[in-house]
Amino acid sequence: GPMTTVGSRGVRTSWQMLLQAGASARVRLVQAAAQRWKVPANECEAANSKVVHKTSGRSFDYGALAAEAGAIKLDKEPAIRSPEQFKFIGKSVPRLDTPLKINGTAKFAIDTQIPGMVYAAIAACPVFGGKLKSVDDTPAKGRRGVLQVVKLDNAVAVVADRFWRAKEALALLKPEWDTGEAGKTDSAQFAKLYRDTLDGPMVSARNDGNVDAEFAKGGKIVEAVYEAPHLAHATMEPLNATVHLESDKLDVWLGSQTPMGSIRQAAAASGLKPEQINIHNCFLGGGFGRRSINDEMRQAILVAKQVGKPVKLVWTREEDVTQDRYRPQAAVRMKTALGANGMPTAFDAKIAVGSILRSTGINKVESGVEAQAVEGFANIPYAIPSLRVGCMLKNTHVPVMFWRSVGSSQNAFFVESYIDELAHAAGQDGYKFRRALLAGKSDFLGVLDKIAEKSDWGKPLGQGRGRGIAIHECYGSIIGQVAEVTVSHKGEVRVDRVVAAVDCGHVVNPGIVEAQIQSGVIYGLSAALYGEITIKDGRVEQTNFDSYQVVTLADTPKIEVYFALSGGKKWGGIGEPGTAATAPAVANAVFAATGTRARSLPLKNVKLVGPA
């Protein structure tokens, strides 16, 4: 299968291959041992890293048999184990890489050292799509350690014998950029663009029943517009790559989520054939989708072409924030008719959002709809008789890309906040309202009931405190969260507790699943409370963690993770879902505490007057 760590695919798309590989290896090891002992294979058993001859007690370690086992050809592949036969799957096993990351021996790309390498600091045009007009390299020349100033099509780099020296010399340069019309844009224009798009034509993503007929009946109509901003990936380790380019060979050290994709990208930049390229994939200090298109590697290769030496190129944090490929900006208008019993009879959603596939060049999306743009809407789990979802993909000059939980990162906020609005309009409890709309869906109800039970849903909280609930399907898994918040008299929001439950069908290692959900919650919390990339004069205004704030240890709530596994044939993803449900759960909790409904993020921009 594909060698990628994206889209929660690690187990979700490879579990059958991995189980088959294990079953095949087990049978081959047994046959290899039986051949050595000259005994029937059914007298041998493979377990606990050994093949044992059951009659005599003789044994071989797997390693001693591996070469012979690998040469054995099977007439047919053996059957894989079923869940009730699993021995290790479902049990928490310590990760092998944890000690390395604690004691510092784990090698990240930024730790790479190779003989003869030089260092490069780079500054790309601050307006996406702009070009380098000119740069006077005089201020950098003659400085200690500086070797060369390299001019690229849309960037300038300084190469030196130390990264700090390269960075300091780069700061002295004053490049002139050709920014074009994009240099006249700002976030206010973009916000208007997306809102105005909601009034125009839409491409149909789903159309069930007769929405217009239901609206024509009159009754209670609830309508709202929600918005979400661009977001940066803000990985702990800034992008970096070390390259050694020779006439017939290229070695690259980087952290990549798609190493085979990195080879293709390196081939395009270097002009070499893929078979001439070696990717040394390192531990990566956070990916979240960003490390699947390797802009830093491409730049390092282009610099190395001019320098003629191995080059280690490192982005500063400022470059990392301002040259990202961002979570798309989006706006949605939702309209619902409520029946006499308060339940929705018709739901209409119009979505305006940036196209990731067009921005990355993966696909032109000629249909006008891409899956991530409408996820959470087109597959909404609630039983609503008439349902219509329209989409209009609208890109600006700001590049957009996959971001942890992708379309669900904004769409879960839109849908689950709005469902909470509907419950309030119907005078019903948010948990019970959802439960009625999910009737008959045992997997969703299992998750919903679990978070309600574990969070003490319905138990009174003090003044200025509130609980919010959200449930969402993301990458084959169902994630539910209840957030508890406290809002001060100054309108400051503190998230005290998050209770999460997940149904991913089966769990390989519960400890890893728990960690992924916890990290997803923290990542989603940064976005919900603070995350916002804004544009002025065509360029990103935020530059570092002082202006692009993320959740710190002091901000982190108590996070509880529970399982509500439905088993069967479902093997859902787990890396993405934890992020998706956090923003709506927190926003709904803020409403419960204050009576103020947040229809845009981040919450730092929402005026909260204090407790309700």
**What pTM, to 2 d.p., does this model score?**
0.96
Whether residue 2 has pLDDT greater than 90? no
Task: Tell me what pLDDT residue 588 has.
Answer: 98
Task: Tell me what pLDDT residue 436 has.
Answer: 98
Pairing of strands 493-503, 558-563: parallel
Q: How many CB atoms lie within 10 A of CB 49?
A: 10
What is the average per-residue pLDDT within 419-423? 98
What is the average per-residue pLDDT within 509-532? 97
- 504 CB contacts (<8 Å, ≥6 apart)? 476, 477, 513, 565, 570, 571, 572, 573, 574, 577
pLDDT tens profile 481-508: 999 999 999 999 999 999 999 999 999 9
Q: Give percent of the chain with pLDDT exceeding 70.
A: 100
Q: How many CB atoms lie within 10 A of CB 208?
A: 13
pLDDT tens profile 381-390: 999 999 999 9
Alpha helices in 426-572 (DSSP H): 430-437, 442-454, 510-529
Q: Give percent of the chain with pLDDT exceeding 90.
A: 98
**Mean pLDDT computed over every residue of the chain:** 97
Whether residue 612 has pLDDT greater than 70? no
Nearest to 400 by CA among 542, 536, 229: 229
Task: Tell me what pLDDT residue 219 has.
Answer: 87
Residue pair 388/213 in contact (Cβ under 8 Å)? The answer is no
Task: Tell me what pLDDT residue 475 has.
Answer: 96
Nearest to 289 by CA among 230, 233, 228: 233
- SS3 for 234? coil
Whether residue 331 has pLDDT greater than 70? yes
What is the average per-residue pLDDT within 289-308? 98
pLDDT tens profile 170-212: 999 999 999 999 999 999 999 999 999 999 999 999 999 999 9
The whole-angstrom separation of Cα 534 and Cα 600 is 14
pLDDT tens profile 213-258: 999 998 899 999 999 999 999 999 999 999 999 999 999 999 999 9
pLDDT tens profile 404-415: 999 999 999 999
Distances (CA, A) of 350 to 15, 201, 388: 37, 9, 8
pLDDT band for position 431 (cuts 50, 70, 90): very high
pLDDT band for position 611 (cuts 50, 70, 90): confident
Whether residue 603 has pLDDT greater than 80? yes
